[in-house]
Chain A
């Protein structure tokens, strides 16, 4: 028994060490920091000061009374909901389209949609920086100018005239374009794993393509749908990289283009450098994420998925 324990530790050790170092410890640190008044990364001075729930009280106060923070909350809700729908259903549509294409076409098509994911975030963001640039050299502006739809360049993500819709449109568009490929890959491989005879049988039974999608493909990939939905919700709640660059490069408004995750990052690192408050906000976001995740899994019947099948095989 003793030997088994040491060998267990030997094999699991490295992985446990990595998980502990990069996930568990930072998690506890971040929760801990939310109970300190840390600013400007002054670790020596503030790390030992415990101020209880003061940061959470401040956060609550800001959310209640600061209109800019209200914008962050609304932007987060709109961004996560709309992008989630685009990512999940866009991915589903792409997967269906490529499933019914012939192999070569579908591989090429999927490769195209994977490009944004394969491009480094900075390069990808730079692309959209040029596209949405508020001067005449912005690609969108020059197209609209050529078509005489506008007579002078517009700042879609910045001009108060278009806020909040302009900023929302840009961040949803840019993040949605990256996100759809994830659902596409998962759904496509799920469809491919359905025995071909089932599809043939349905055809012989007289099912049209839409019927096959409705009665065979979708019901049999219910769990993949649940998984993609929950996974994408988490990653949308936490994502900020592209949006951060677009805000920093002044393509979108820093208020209406800022999600909660980005607010956490900027508060900790660029604007007020108030790490205590940022840690409180990030802990709050994690709790929201966990609660939403559990609700989603419950609503979509995750428990049923992991139940053992009944009866003999």
Chain B
């Protein structure tokens, strides 16, 4: 369980995250939503231990994150960011095998190999397992990176905009895979997401930020309402719910 206590982050004099305290629920998908510059990614990076908070702290099961060593943290929390600068020529399978790096440091055991196989199967990457990453489409690449993160076998996964630049099919595939990770394996997924409809339909819990402060925090049904979304994005919304799901319309209103 991740808890955040009075978290502040400033870049120079500019505050990016201001006094956020909250508790993220265990197991299930939690989406961080909010307009650009709300501090979503900054918050996620601080939880990932990739960014130092200016003040306040984050705790994992009651233990302060800053007191956990990087090597140890990699056994418990896996992070996937956008990686536009990634230029290593690796095959999909080689990339996924690096998900086992926190455990094996390069010498794969049989258990590592089994987990790599499992991740390839889980994201249905058999057909492209020997293809080089630079020969793949953006969606396939993203699936491969996700498989690597899955192979890290951590209880918690942090994903920064995993649906960026993906077509609808790949976006749905990724969200369904995340859903199965939570439902079948009991993992906790925290993600920053911009598409409000993906957030509304696939997450159990939603945390909404605006201008670096916590605006709403609750179950998907509680947070996704016309009034909340209007306050969050300064746009008129129409929220249509039926038994198949929920549609947030913000076009031509």
* Chain B binds chain A: no
Taking Cβ atoms with an 8 Å cutoff, the residues of A that contact B are none
Taking Cβ atoms with an 8 Å cutoff, the residues of B that contact A are none
